[in-house]
Structure 1
Amino acid sequence: MTTELERATRGWLDHLRVERGVSAHTLRAYSRDLRRYAEYLLTIGVTTPSGVTEQQIAGFLASLREGSAEHPPLAAASAARTLVAVRGFHKFLALEGETTADVASAVAPPRPPARLPKAIPLAQVERLLAAAGVGDTPASLRDRALLELLYGIGARVSEAVGLDVDDLDLASDSVRVVGKGDKERILPLGSFAKEAVSNYLVRARPALAAAGKGTAAVFLNQRGGRLSRQSAWTVIQTAAQRADLPGHLSPHTLRHSFATHLLDGGADVRVVQELLGHASVTTTQIYTMVSVQQLREVFASSHPRAR
């Protein structure tokens, strides 16, 4: 690195450490990213931050994706993370008056390829739910109710474990959840989830609550406190092992399956958007890709002239 580039980089990293309280791990990552950035600038003859142009930053981004003899090509997500450091660096220099403009602000990060949400067929969902309800203990009744609810309303795991008893309205078959940004939504409760939750509230929750100091949480752990997100993960992984289901399942698997099965059944994407609590329908539309993929698979295996 040249003296001026090194001085500017150290100034930004010191700002992050002292004034922003950025962790040592993040500082090391940013330092590595900017070292690679400085190496690229030197190879194209740029020796000062003020001499950098938007086109050169775009060229650096392209070089990250292409790789070199010294560096393997980066995936879109890794290249985007490196660009975050470069953009933060140039924004800092512009705000401090070290440069006349923020030349990195208009350089867009690469978009990673859309990943299809993982959903499992209904038959596997039913096997999973049955495995969670093995036995008649308070914990098994709780686990069955939790998984029925995750699949029955498409809740995020944080929304499910965050439920309080007052959020349930079994008389009107509905449940109130608080999602991202503290946004509330009222969701319909199907008969299977309602039955599982009712059984848990009557036959299991009082026994679990007796071990604690009193909490309004719906789902309780063995000590009578609110069930954690980590424990909810354990519940579904244990049930998946009992059901001998392939792959790695998580609470979000049931949310994905909820959305995919609704769309497969003919539900409107905007209705699914409201049920999932997505701020934008664009987020929900990725689930339609799952259904299209399923259509392709059925077509390929069934149509006489598909292959």
Structure 2
Amino acid sequence: MANATAHTPARNDIAALARDAYLARYDGATRQLYAADLRVYFTWCAAAGVDPMAARRPHLELFIQHLLEDRGNKPSSVIRRMKPVRGFYQLAVADELIDRDPTVLLRLPKVHEDPEAIATLTPEQVKTLLRVAIDTSPAHAALVGLMSMLGLRVSEACAVRVEDFREDDLGYVVLRTVRKGGKIRVKPIPVPLLRIIQRAAGDRTSGPLILTRAGKQQTRAGAYDWTKRLLRKADLPENAHPHTLRHAAVTAVIDAGATLIEAQEFADHADPRTTLHYYRNRGNLDQHAAHLAARAFAVSS
């Protein structure tokens, strides 16, 4: 009996095993983010005397209350933090490490977003920002160009390398990027953006495209600082930030007439409902679908 007990994993070992098994399904920035979220949850469990592998729904609702009241997280941040916690328990059930999923019927806070409150830039404002970036340096212009013309996330733009560009069989210059979740995507490079990229690359054939003054690859934090400085120089709204350029790109694509599926593909959203958040022209009656229905069914009088 003593030997059997000695070889039985402790509950905290099982929790660590379940956590590591869940995180092993991801890599890169996504894995780091989910690891940080689970660390917050495990830390709370330890302080509250809750065994993560024996937690029940009421415990998780107390954790959500902790995030909202003690940590001051917004409802949207709480929902994001709970995604890896849900995944952790779902996988633990599938692996038969626990017998029930405590996140079933879990009540999450509601998010009421005002689309008009989201920071955005008009096409003319993006043009102004791009002109200021071009006047500042080729690297600044490449950062703004990749985020505004390709809709890249700031971390994706910073990760672009000179060797990621190539010419396909039809003569298009394309960019191969590793996007959120490790997905590989190939995007065509429009001529205006190609000129910006060529100036940033110079005669280099490899290495990071966007370099700092010290010659190192730009980071997410550094790109945020660059963007804020450019916005101030361009006298543009102070609440704008790098993601605002991606938001402006997706909005511009939709306003130009792209379908929701085309916009979703451009933005690389897993769920089209995410793309809907970028649709800011819902009040334009000229684009209402009623015109399409009427055109299909109209008869001469």
Query: TM-score normalized by structure 2?
Result: 0.63
1:119 corresponds to: 120
Distance 1:247 1:222, change over 3 A: closer
C-alpha separation in 2, matches of 1:185 and 1:141: 24
Q: Tell me if structure 1 keeps the 8 A contact 2:232–2:238.
A: no
| Residue 234 in structure 1 maps to residue 249 in structure 2 | no
- Give CA deviations for 1:177-232 in whole Å, capped at 9, x if unaligned: 2212322222122232122222333xxx45xx7xxxx9522222223332222222
C-alpha separation in 1, matches of 2:61 and 2:222: 44
Q: Aligned pair count?
A: 245
- Give CA deviations for 1:4-57 in whole Å, capped at 9, x if unaligned: xxxxxxx9779768996998865543356x47x9xxxxxxxxxxxx9x997xx3
Q: Tell me if structure 1 keeps the 8 A contact 2:129–2:231.
A: yes
Distance 1:185 1:295, change over 3 A: same
C-alpha separation in 2, matches of 1:285 and 1:266: 14
| Residue 181 in structure 1 maps to residue 181 in structure 2 | yes
1:271 Cα deviation after fit = 0.9
1:218 corresponds to: 209
The one-letter code sitting in structure 2 at the alignment partner of 1:110 is L
The one-letter code sitting in structure 2 at the alignment partner of 1:102 is R
1:141 Cα deviation after fit = 1.7
Distance 1:154 1:14, change over 3 A: same
What is the aligned counterpart of 1:263 among 254, 257, 281? 254
Say which one has the larger Rg: 1
Q: Tell me if structure 2 keeps the 8 A contact 1:30–1:82.
A: no
Give the alignment of 1:47-86 within 5 angstroms.
57=58, 76=75
C-alpha separation in 2, matches of 1:269 and 1:261: 12
Q: Tell me if structure 1 keeps the 8 A contact 2:132–2:230.
A: yes
1:145 Cα deviation after fit = 2.2
1:144 corresponds to: 141
Distance 1:263 1:226, change over 3 A: same
What is the aligned counterpart of 2:159 among 157, 162, 165? 162
2:44 corresponds to: 29
Give the alignment of 1:14-25 within 5 angstroms.
none
Give secondary structure in 1 for the equivalent of 2:218.
Answer: coil
1:132 Cα deviation after fit = 1.4
Give secondary structure in 2 for the equivalent of 1:149.
Answer: helix
Q: Tell me if structure 1 keeps the 8 A contact 2:145–2:196.
A: yes
What's the C-alpha RMSD, in Å, of the aligned pairs? 4.4
C-alpha separation in 1, matches of 2:56 and 2:164: 55
C-alpha separation in 2, matches of 1:129 and 1:82: 37
C-alpha separation in 1, matches of 2:77 and 2:187: 38
Q: Tell me if structure 1 keeps the 8 A contact 2:174–2:186.
A: yes
Which of 170-179 and 238-247 deviates more?
170-179
The one-letter code sitting in structure 2 at the alignment partner of 1:151 is S
1:302 corresponds to: none
C-alpha separation in 1, matches of 2:77 and 2:233: 37
- Give CA deviations for 1:77-135 in whole Å, capped at 9, x if unaligned: 577669959x97xx89xx788xxx63734223325425445321112111211221225
1:291 corresponds to: 281
Query: TM-score normalized by structure 1?
Result: 0.61
